[in-house]
Amino acid sequence: MVMKIWTSQIPEPLPRFELIELGVFKKKGDTSGSSLSKSLVEVKKTTDIPEKIDGIEGFIIPAGCINLELLGQLQQIHSFIYITINGFTSQAIKELKQSLEDSKTVFVFESDNYNTYDYLEQLGWLASQNQPFAVASENKKQLLTACVFKPHALIIKSSYPSWIGELEHLFSITQAQAAKPLSETELDSIYGFEMGLVAAKNLPMGHILTNEDITTAITASRGLGLHLRQKIIGQRMGYSLKLGEPITFGFLQDPFYAK
């Protein structure tokens, strides 16, 4: 999973990150921005939608500007539709999700004017909606906190964050971690070693096995599987075994297990 960061200022050459994609945020009528990245364009009415949409990855509708005509036009473009939902009720959110079910929709939370408690409450609620969401803010602490909730995007309208590495780091801890690949040295150290039944003490020939005579260990040569422990208890040893040596059928005197 990769997080998008939209900002009005992007350095060139365009920085490369492992878990972040940079894009240009453009206010209504703004023609500036980097030619090296996709853009998120603010629209308040249908006439704000540019004729040429090359390079535009999404459109953002500010709070209070959403209407059916605008949504209908944006749906036809098949770009991401970022909708600022500040002030929306739960019922309004539900109806909006239903009407945009087949669209690439991102709910945007404008958080600059929220205190810490209200911000965390709103952020937690938004993250629980099973819907891609974004946080728009200039507040470093708010944006760093948002990263832990796996946002689709962060929107920083007026500046490029010099602390963008901190955003990527916090976002990275939310990602599922794949198993660490083993080095050649680690592979060599475990190759051929398996868990099996071994002698818990020195066992003489003719000894009848008890539960206390058997333990488990990782050994270089394969012993009987752990599931056979109860089956070999009470069997007579056909040969002697030293402490820690794997127990195999060949060491048992019983002809059934020696087959």
Block mean pLDDT (10 aa), the chain, length 259: 89 84 85 69 92 89 91 91 90 86 91 87 86 93 91 91 90 73 56 75 93 82 81 90 89 62
CB atoms within 10 A of CB 187: 10
What CATH number has the domain spanning 184-258? 3.90.1210.10
3-state helix, strand, coil in the chain (%, to 5): 30, 25, 45
Task: Report which of 257, 185, 197, 205 is spatially closest to residue 221, judged by C-alpha positions.
Answer: 197
Length in residues, the chain: 259
Where on the phi/psi map is residue 143: left (φ > 0), alpha (ψ -120 to 50), or beta? alpha
What CATH number has the domain spanning 3-172? 3.20.20.70
- Beta-bridge partners for 25: 40
Please say whether the beta carbons of 167 and 161 come within 8 A: yes
Q: What is the pLDDT of residue 210?
A: 92
Determine how β-strand 214-219 pairs with β-strand 194-199. antiparallel
DSSP 45: S
Residues of the chain with CATH 3.90.1210.10: 184-258
Q: What is the pLDDT of residue 157?
A: 87
Q: What is the pLDDT of residue 36?
A: 58
Q: What is the pLDDT of residue 51?
A: 84
Q: What is the pLDDT of residue 242?
A: 92
Q: Model pTM greater than 0.75?
A: no
Residues of the chain with CATH 3.20.20.70: 3-172
